Amino acid sequence: MTAPTRDLVEATDPSTPLRPVGPQRPGSEARPSAAVAAARAAARRRGAARWTRRSVTAMVTITMLAYPFLLTDPRSPWANLDRSETIALYSDGVSGSGSVLPTLVPAGTTADYLPGSRVLDPGPADPDALAVAEAAAAESRAWLASGTVPGGDGPYADMAEGALLDMRALLLNDGASVAGWSARWRYVWPRDASFVAVAMATTGHPDEAIEILSFLQRVQHRNGSFEARYLPDGSGPPDDRGIQADGTGWALWATQSVLASMPDADRLAAARALRPLIDRSTEHLLDLTDRRDSLPRASSDFWEVGESRLTLGTAAPILSGLEAAARLNGALGQRLPAEAAAERASDLHGAIVDRFGPRFARYTDGLQRDAAGAFLLPPFQPEPVPGALASWRASAREMSRPAGGLAPGAGWKKDGISWTPQTSLYGLTAAWAGDTAAARSWLTWLDAHRTSSGAIPEKVLGDGSPAAVAPLSWSAACVVLAVAQLDEVEAAQALARPESPLRLPVSQGR
């Protein structure tokens, strides 16, 4: 940088005589005095110092801005250095039942629950406390008996019962289905809550399912969008994570799934009660996909990170939502919205196949797959999207982790941690695909990595230790749905299996 003229003039000694101006002989160019040369050198040094300070300031600013991304964003280069992480287990489980607010079971302790409940046994020392606890536990057992516990007397019955009880403990009186009870999870994610609603309905608890959907209806924006998460009192979001477009798709998918599980006599009344949710969500998804290729714009999804590119984790749930909207509006006699949703779903279906297929990766670049591939299969689509089943099978290998579970995606940071939401999700889709061996493999792994109190944790470390929040409602819901579907598939397979000749009636055995 050239030093400003003002610096040179101020640095010149006034007593120094100026050289005459005018033609001079060749080779007799005037040379600057020592003072002028020194001033120029000092000005250059000051300029260099200013540039150095500015460069350092810029580097520090950039580093401070990038620091959270480099260390926490699963896509950052620093997060993919193949190093194992250690995360504490925040709690061993949760206690609570019905109208009683849950409390955490401290990590490192094993809860002594009364049978068929998440009620802690106070012991015989306090008869009054024991009587209260026994009454709460009896109410919990009656609640279980009012529906069904998937798994029968098989190896997953205990895990399924515990998952149901944990979901119930995390369901507050106003229909707020919180993700967990640890501080940073004590919020309602529309995605997680939608899965819990479907799990409740599937196991014969429609009232709880409708309560959850009614909560989502109350907090939904008038334009049909959802924030990433909500305070359990329904007063709004806890932070500025912003809108997540997949939430509307999940809410519609859950609403259709819940209503489909209800008796005919109750279904229409429930649909009418949820009409605002259905109408707003349908209109919003039609708006989001009102584009030349029907693909929505980029949005944060289940990875919970900012996105500048459209992900399959946003596009696929919106497809599920549009397909659900067509059926819901049709059942309500809303012909025009039903036809519009069905047509848009068909367009989006084709766009997903064209742009994301045949690998069905996280982005349209076709590089790294993630767990959203499961959203292209039943129970999220009526039929598997062409090519999605093979891609889903391949993705499990790419997402595998040392302890045996799955990461959210192949591009997730290489920290050795398995995530139970994605692992249980794959168990669910395996059951729906009729792959009972794979479904049982995932469920067996989840059962083996519960906490000592029986809760399904959010994460499992590379050494197999449960970590982070426990229980997590999304994982619990996926487990319940997976075991329930596995029961149906195996029952159907048993009916279709030809009888052994040893069991044939005598008249047929001759």
- The tokens describing 235, both together, are 């007063």
Question: Backbone dihedral region of 409: left (phi > 0), alpha (psi from -120 to 50 degrees) or beta?
Answer: beta
Closest CA to 412 of 75, 24, 130, 42: 75
Buried/exposed code over 184-194 (b: 16+ C-beta within 10 A; e: otherwise): ebbbbbbbbbb
| Residue linked to tokens 């000694």 | 13
The pLDDT value recorded for residue 135 is 95
- Distance separating alpha carbons of residues 331 and 22, to the nearest angstrom: 99
Closest CA to 396 of 361, 369, 436, 365: 369
Q: Which residues, 6+ apart, have CB-to-CB distance to 70 below 8 Å?
A: 76, 77, 78, 79
DSSP 31: P
DSSP 409: B
Least confident of 32-41, 309-318, 496-505: 496-505
What SS3 class is residue 416?
coil
The pLDDT value recorded for residue 34 is 76
- Distance separating alpha carbons of residues 384 and 394, to the nearest angstrom: 15
Q: State mean pLDDT over 29-42.
A: 68
- Distance separating alpha carbons of residues 376 and 170, to the nearest angstrom: 29
The three-state (H, E, C) secondary structure of 330-375, written as one string: HHCCCHHHHHHHHHHHHHHHHHHHHHHCCCCCCCCCCCCCEHHHHH
Q: State mean pLDDT over 374-387.
A: 98
Q: Say how far residue 360 (Cα) sits from the centre of its chain.
A: 18
List, for residues 248-267, the tens digit of each pLDDT value: 999 999 999 999 999 999 99
Class of the CATH-defined domain 91-494: mainly alpha
Is the predicted pLDDT of residue 73 greater than 60, yes or no? Answer: yes
Query: 287 φ, ψ to 5°?
Result: -65, -45
Q: State mean pLDDT over 374-399.
A: 98
What SS3 class is residue 422?
helix
The pLDDT value recorded for residue 72 is 52
Is the predicted pLDDT of residue 323 greater than 60, yes or no? Answer: yes
List, for residues 85-111, the tens digit of each pLDDT value: 789 999 999 999 777 789 999 999 999
Q: Please report how many Cα atoms fall inside a 13 Å half-sphere around the Cα of residue 189, on the Cβ side.
A: 21
CB 296 within 8 A of CB 318: yes
pLDDT confidence tier of residue 471, bands split at 50, 70 and 90: very high
Give the percent of the chain with pLDDT over 70. Answer: 84
Least confident of 10-19, 104-113, 408-417: 10-19
CB 492 within 8 A of CB 436: no
Buried/exposed code over 441-480 (b: 16+ C-beta within 10 A; e: otherwise): ebbebbbebbbebbbbbbbbbeeebbbbbbbbbbbbbbbb
- The tokens describing 339, both together, are 């036809």
Q: Per 3-state DSSP, what percentage of the chain is helix, strand, and coil (rounded to 5)? A: 50, 5, 40
Q: Which residues, 6+ apart, have CB-to-CB distance to 3 below 8 Å?
A: 40, 43, 44, 46, 47
The pLDDT value recorded for residue 17 is 42
pLDDT confidence tier of residue 39, bands split at 50, 70 and 90: confident
- Distance separating alpha carbons of residues 362 and 441, to the nearest angstrom: 25
Q: State mean pLDDT over 395-405.
A: 97
pLDDT confidence tier of residue 30, bands split at 50, 70 and 90: low
The pLDDT value recorded for residue 21 is 43
pLDDT confidence tier of residue 508, bands split at 50, 70 and 90: very low
Is the predicted pLDDT of residue 2 greater than 80, yes or no? Answer: no
495 vs 452: which has the higher pLDDT? 452
140 vs 57: which has the higher pLDDT? 140
List, for residues 190-222, the tens digit of each pLDDT value: 999 999 999 999 999 999 999 999 999 999 999
- Distance separating alpha carbons of residues 312 and 359, to the nearest angstrom: 11
Is the predicted pLDDT of residue 22 greater than 70, yes or no? Answer: no
The pLDDT value recorded for residue 38 is 75
Question: DSSP readout, 41-107?
Answer: HHHHHHHHHHHHHHHHHHHHHHHHHHHHHHHH-TTSGGGGS-------B-EEEEE--TTSPPEEEET
